[in-house]
Structure 1
Amino acid sequence: MKAAVLEEPNNLVLRGTKDPALVPGDLVIRMRSATICGTDIRIFRGRKTMGVRYPSILGHEFAGEIVDTGGRSGFSIGDRIGICPAIPCGHCHRCKRGAENLCSEGMNFGYEIDGGFAELVRIPAKAVDGGNVRRLPDGMTFGEAAMIEPLSCVLNGQEQVNLGFGDVVVIIGAGPIGLLHVLLARLRGAVRIIVSDPNAPRREAALSYGADTTIDPTTEDVAARVRAETDGRGADVVICAIGIPALARQATELAAHSGRISLFAGFSKGDTSQMDINAIHYNQITVTGAFGLSRRNFDDAFNIVASGRLDVAPLITGRFPLEETLRAFEVAESGAAIKVAVEND
């Protein structure tokens, strides 16, 4: 089969590789759409190495159709499916305490298991048995199904800060994740959404997806503008949707008393940041991280999209065939598109 193989950092090549080897109970799918995540780019550039193998096939946001059932009943060749890419072990301390997204003993597509930037992808029996596979309803495209994974992560992040009705929300960063935060925050009942991003087209996109106000941090004092927009109170929830360490400190300047801050975006290995600890202490601000997704998050996000309550399709603004995966990565990294999909027709 053809696959985009990461041989080493900065060396992604399309080449032939062995078809997936099945054991009984596995499925094999033909990848139809695999979207590029910021984490994929960080792995490609060598800024994220934990759990990464060389050579490997990246891609944890993907969907496709079954071409081999592996002798398993209940599935048929041609079934259209989406995949929750995190396969927890189910027996470690974290899994037992309901934090399977933090499981360090499990497997993940694009890491321990070859992922979606390939013609064919093996779905291990453990993932099928664990409920990681969802059949797509007729109205859901493969691209939309691939977007369920990032939406699931966003859902986890908003749950960690208890974002809900009546909240004033500031989202720092209007990339694909920031825009998903806008869409979901609106759905969850945020009363006002303010987005900060230096990129004018992305600020326009944020407004089109439901933001009330946008800020250009290169020309405006973000903290002063947020205070002006909130009668001096600040934001109930601040979400850092871009992995720039200095923005963690900025978040403490934007949060209201008893505000909640989500350091949602991944940062590069070794990154540190100074935060205003007095603001955290005296204003009683909660600061939390948000990593990955659980199978519950995936199911909830899947049902939100399947029901039509949230439309993720417009976020995919760049599409490339598998043969042009490297070009797709370059476009995603440049910010010229919102979300980039690699497709295998």
Structure 2
Amino acid sequence: MKAGVLTAPNVLSFDTVPDPELAPGDLLVRVKAATVCGTDIRIFRGRKTMGVRYPSILGHEFAGEVVAGGKAGGWSPGQAVCVCPAIACGHCQHCVRGYENLCQNLQAIGYEIDGAFAEYIRIPAAGLARGNVFALPEGLTYDKAALAEPLACVINGQERVGVYRGDTVVVLGSGPIGILHVKLARHSGAHKVIVSEPNPLRREAARAAGADLAVDPTAEDLPAIVRDQTDGLGADVVIVAIGVPALADDALALARHRGRVSLFAGFSAGEKAQLDVNAIHYNEVMVTGAFGLTRLQFEQALKLIASGRFEVDSMLTHRFGLAEISAALATAEQGSAIKVAILDA
């Protein structure tokens, strides 16, 4: 089969590799659509190393069609499926306590397991046994289904920080994840959503996604604007949706007393952030992280997209064939796209 193969940081090529070999209980899926995540770019550039192997195949946001295997789970060739890529063990202390996204034995497609930037992908038997494979709802296209994974992560982040009806929410960064945060905050009933983003194309995308204000932090006074929009109090929720460590402290300054801050974005290995601990202490600001997703959140995201009540079509701004994998990654990295999809020819 053909695949985009990562052999070292910054070295990815479109090559012929052996077809996946199925062990008993495995499922073989023909990839119909995969979308590029910012984490894929970080792995490609060597800024994320946990779980990464060389050579390997990236790609963890995808949907496809069953080719072989999976009979014990009731799957048959030709079925359209979407897969939650985070495979938890189900028996460690974290899984038992209900936070499988932090599983101590987590195996993830696109990390420890070869991913979806390929013609075919092997879903391990453990993924089938744990319920990571979902049938595509009728009428849902493969490219939109691929966005269930990032939306599920955003659902996890907003559940952790709490976004409620009537809140004022500030989102720092309006890349694909920031746009999903805007959309989900609106869906959850936020009264006002303010986005900070230096890229003019992404500011416009944030407005189209439902942001009341899209601010250029390089040319405008974001803290003053937030104060003006909140009667001088600050935001109820501030979400850091881009992995820039300095934004963590900025977020604290934008939050109201007893406000809530989500350090949602992943930061590159070795990067440190300065935090105003007195602001946390005296203002009683809650700061939380968010990592990954659960199968329940994945299912919720898939159903939400399929319902038509959560629009994602406009996010899919660029489409490439698998042979154009390098161009797809470059486009996603340059910031000229919102979401880049790699489609089956």
Write out the 4+ residue segments of structure 1 that deviate beyond 3 Å after TM superposition.
70-73
> How many aligned residue pairs are there?
345
| Partner in structure 2 of residue 155 of structure 1 | 155
Look up the SS of the partner of 2:210 in the other structure.
coil
| Partner in structure 1 of residue 300 of structure 2 | 300
Q: Using the alignment, how far apart are the partners of 1:216 and 1:70 within structure 2?
A: 50
Look up the SS of the partner of 1:261 in the other structure.
strand
| Map 1:1-345 → 2, pairs under 5 A | 1-72=1-72, 74-345=74-345
Unmatched 5+ stretches in structure 2: none
Q: Using the alignment, how far apart are the partners of 2:111 and 2:134 within structure 1?
A: 21
CA deviations on 1:240-281 (whole Å, 9 max, x unpaired) are 000001100100110001000000001011111111111111
1:106/1:203 Cα in 2 relative to 1: closer, same or farther (>3 Å)? Answer: same
Q: Using the alignment, how far apart are the partners of 1:292 and 1:94 within structure 2?
A: 14
Look up the SS of the partner of 1:30 in the other structure.
strand
Q: Using the alignment, how far apart are the partners of 2:228 and 2:189 within structure 1?
A: 22
Look up the SS of the partner of 2:152 in the other structure.
helix
Q: Using the alignment, how far apart are the partners of 2:31 and 2:231 within structure 1?
A: 50
Look up the SS of the partner of 2:128 in the other structure.
helix
Q: Using the alignment, how far apart are the partners of 2:56 and 2:331 within structure 1?
A: 21
Two-structure CA RMSD over aligned residues (Å): 0.9
Q: Using the alignment, how far apart are the partners of 1:48 and 1:228 within structure 2?
A: 38
What residue identity is the alignment partner of 2:282? Y
What residue identity is the alignment partner of 2:36? I
Q: Is the 8 A contact 1:255 1:261 kept in 2?
A: yes
| Residue 70 (structure 1) shift | 4.9
Q: Is the 8 A contact 1:174 1:197 kept in 2?
A: yes
Q: Using the alignment, how far apart are the partners of 2:260 and 2:70 within structure 1?
A: 47
Q: Is the 8 A contact 1:81 1:135 kept in 2?
A: yes
Per mean C-alpha deviation after superposition, the further-off stretch among 123-132 and 173-182 is 123-132
| Residue 71 (structure 1) shift | 4.3
Q: Is the 8 A contact 2:84 2:298 kept in 1?
A: yes
| Residue 112 (structure 1) shift | 1.1
What residue identity is the alignment partner of 2:344? N
What residue identity is the alignment partner of 1:322? L
After TM superposition, the score normalised by the length of structure 2 is 0.98
Q: Using the alignment, how far apart are the partners of 1:344 and 1:139 within structure 2?
A: 18
What residue identity is the alignment partner of 2:43? I
Q: Is the 8 A contact 1:320 1:328 kept in 2?
A: yes
What residue identity is the alignment partner of 1:319? R
CA deviations on 1:303-330 (whole Å, 9 max, x unpaired) are 1112222011210101100000011000
| Residue 211 (structure 1) shift | 0.5
Look up the SS of the partner of 1:5 in the other structure.
strand
Q: Is the 8 A contact 1:182 1:209 kept in 2?
A: yes
What residue identity is the alignment partner of 2:121? V
What residue identity is the alignment partner of 1:194? I
1:128/1:70 Cα in 2 relative to 1: closer, same or farther (>3 Å)? Answer: closer
Q: Is the 8 A contact 2:172 2:195 kept in 1?
A: yes
What residue identity is the alignment partner of 1:273? A
Q: Is the 8 A contact 2:237 2:260 kept in 1?
A: yes
CA deviations on 1:76-120 (whole Å, 9 max, x unpaired) are 211010000000011111111111101131210011110100000
Q: Is the 8 A contact 1:24 1:72 kept in 2?
A: no
Q: Using the alignment, how far apart are the partners of 1:277 and 1:301 within structure 2?
A: 35
1:204/1:124 Cα in 2 relative to 1: closer, same or farther (>3 Å)? Answer: same
